[in-house]
A and B are shown apart, each in its own frame.
Chain A
Amino acid sequence: QKEVEQNSGPLSVPEGAIASLNCTYSDRGSQSFFWYRQYSGKSPELIMSIYSNGDKEDGRFTAQLNKASQYVSLLIRDSQPSDSATYLCAVINTGTASKLTFGTGTRLQVTL
């Protein structure tokens, strides 16, 4: 079983701080990585995708990928209470076409 692992949290950060969410994966050949945000009772929505080593920035969000170490992270700058949600890391494993394998998610709480 090719796995994706995340710390379940909760990760608590004060408003305005940087939240750092981490994910490790077991399939060394994985090429595609995604971060989804899921509010309680809602379905996941895509925040970022990343395919190459390094950083990718989109507004307050930065995804970081290190294939040698098999981890991918998501940084949220200037965290807002509306960022409070569960963040799911997802990976397309080698030879699985478009199928995503998800981590169990990290719950983020942004406090006032």
Chain B
Amino acid sequence: DVKVTQSSRYLVKRTGEKVFLECVQDMDHENMFWYRQDPGLGLRLIYFSYDVKMKEKGDIPEGYSVSREKKERFSLILESASTNQTSMYLCASSFGGPRNTIYFGEGSWLTVV
């Protein structure tokens, strides 16, 4: 079974803090993704990585950065957390190609106060 692990499930951070969300996949997938999910807005892509050290902006990259130093690990960084970044964050991975299935981690619930 594919396993995508998000190490932090529930976090509460203060405005202005730097926040790291970590994601690890164990299937040697090429692609990794970070989405956020908000009520009424659905899932929105923040960043996408198709290889180590390679990244591409998604639909809502402002206020976020990412790091992919190893193939299995993809980190989402909030440089200075703000209350409007309170959300559920979902990491996902896939082998790649237009017919390829994307698998999700369990999600990280972030509250910024």
A98–B96 contact, CB under 8 A? yes
Contact residues in A for B74 (Cβ distance below 8 Å)? none
Interface flags, A61-101, vs B, CB<8A=1, else 0: 00000000000000000000000000010101000011111
Identity of the chain B residue whose Cβ is nearest the Cβ of A8 in the assembled complex: B40
Q: With A42-B107, A44-B104 as known contacts, state yes or no: A88 contacts B43, CB within 8 Å.
A: yes
- In the assembled complex, the CB of B101 is this many whole angstroms from the nearest CB of chain A, namely 6
Identity of the chain B residue whose Cβ is nearest the Cβ of A44 in the assembled complex: B104
Contact residues in B for A98 (Cβ distance below 8 Å)? 31, 50, 94, 96-98, 100, 102
**Count of B interface residues, CB-CB < 8 Å:** 27
Within the assembled complex, what's the spacing in Å between the Cα atoms of A88 and B33? 17
Within the assembled complex, what's the spacing in Å between the Cα atoms of A42 and B42? 14
Q: Does B106 contact A (CB under 8 A)?
A: yes
- In the assembled complex, the CB of A97 is this many whole angstroms from the nearest CB of chain B, namely 7
A contact patch SS: loop
Q: Does B61 contact A (CB under 8 A)?
A: no
Identity of the chain A residue whose Cβ is nearest the Cβ of B50 in the assembled complex: A97
Identity of the chain B residue whose Cβ is nearest the Cβ of A101 in the assembled complex: B45
Q: Does A32 contact B (CB under 8 A)?
A: yes
Interface flags, B12-46, vs A, CB<8A=1, else 0: 00000000000000000001010100001111110
Identity of the chain B residue whose Cβ is nearest the Cβ of A89 in the assembled complex: B42
Residue pairs across A and B with Cβ atoms less than 8 A apart, 22 shown, are: A31-B98, A32-B98, A43-B104, A43-B105, A43-B107, A44-B104, A46-B102, A49-B101, A92-B98, A98-B96, A98-B98, A98-B100, A99-B33, A99-B45, A99-B58, A100-B45, A100-B102, A102-B43, A102-B44, A103-B42, A104-B40, A104-B41
Q: Which residues of A contact B (CB under 8 A)?
A: 1, 8, 31-32, 34, 42-46, 49, 51, 88, 90, 92, 97-105
